[in-house]
Amino acid sequence: MNILIIEDEARIARRLERMTIEFFASKPVTISICDSLQKGLDQIRNQLPDLLLLDLNLNGDNGFEILEQMVAASFHTIIVSANTDKAITAFAYGVLDFVPKPFDQERFFKALTRFVSPALKVEEDIKYLAVKKAGQVRLINITELIYIKGAGIYTELHLTNGRSELHDKSLELLHQLLPDQFERIHKSYLVNFSQVEKVLVNTGTRYSVLLKTGEVLPVGRSKYKELKNKMI
């Protein structure tokens, strides 16, 4: 497990480190601390972390410009910041949690628990998914999403305008970030429920959904019942 802390306050960075070690107790974790955004970015280039703990306001640099890049990456980001008024914006960008400073162990553990339990959904609304394309980061409004398909280590975002984009995050991580209307209907599909026209039952107890766009997506056997209940 690789965890990166970007925090310019040495004492706070050490506090995060200590608490993280305590949280993971028996599990082996590697923690790196960077005291500037530049060093953090270099570190990410060297080795992708599994989790990023990020302070938004570092040495006068505005962390929000970096945040877009971070949330587009494969790993989850937890913001630890004094700028509590930025929490809603941070969630809109798709962070896993926002830990306001000052924080105690309980609050920080809650954020880490969210990280280790993908089933725990983010309570605040995400508004955008950040997508990296040709070195640029583009924000996609989640209302434009029809469904997301898992494709190896990537995911494909299928959009209302008929195009699709690749995202670095796994289907599990995106499912955790996206609101309830996004349903996991198959091990490879996450669908925007409002885009579903009806559930189809095919021969041989195979199920699928017909989307408003006319596309048909497979439904996992275990997911069918859940889906059926939701439809009614």
Partner 1 sequence: MKTFQRLYKLLNSHQALKITLYIYIMHNLLFLLTLLSALTRPVIRTEEPIPVYKTGDNKVWAAKDYDDKDWSQTRGNTLDRIFWSRTHFELRPVENELKPLGLQIQSFGAFEVYWDGVLIGHNGQLPQHGKPEMPGTESSYYRVPDHLISPGFHTVALRSSQSFFPEVQRSVDFKMDSYTVLLTKPLVTMSYMNLMAGAFLIAAVYYFFLYLNSRRRPWDTLIFASICFLFFVLLIMEYLKFHVVIPYTDFFVRLEIIGWLTFANALLVPLYFIIQFNCKQGKWLMGALLITLVLLYIVHYGAYDLTARLYSLAMLIAAFIVVLNGIIQKEKGGFIALAALVISALVNKSVVYDFGLFISFTVIVLSMLYLHSIRASVIETEHQNAVLLSSRLQLELLKKNIQPHFLRNTLTSMMDWVEESPKEGSRFIQALATEFDIMNEISEQTLIPITKELELCRQHISIMGFRKEINYIWEEVGIDEEQLIPPAIIHTLLENGITHSEPLPGNTVKFVLSYFLKEKTHEYTFETLAENRKVMTKRTGGNGFKYIRARLTESYGQNWTFDSVATENGWISTIHILRQ
Total Cβ atoms within 10 A of residue 114: 19
CB of 32 to partner 1, least distance (A): 17
CB of 197 to partner 1, least distance (A): 45
Residues that bind partner 1 (CB under 8 A): 8-12, 14-15, 35-38, 57, 59-62, 65-66, 82-85, 100-104
CB of 110 to partner 1, least distance (A): 16
- 102 versus 214: smaller Cβ distance to partner 1: 102
E-strand spans in the chain? 2-6, 30-34, 51-54, 57-58, 61-62, 76-81, 97-100, 128-133, 136-141, 145-151, 154-159, 164-167, 182-186, 189-192, 196-202, 206-211, 216-219
Q: Is 135 left (phi over 0), alpha (psi -120 to 50) or beta?
A: left
User: Which residue type does 115 have?
Assistant: F
- 64 versus 154: smaller Cβ distance to partner 1: 64
- 58 versus 211: smaller Cβ distance to partner 1: 58
d(CA 80, CA 87): 10
- 36 versus 170: smaller Cβ distance to partner 1: 36
CB of 22 to partner 1, least distance (A): 12
- 35 versus 226: smaller Cβ distance to partner 1: 35
CB of 9 to partner 1, least distance (A): 5
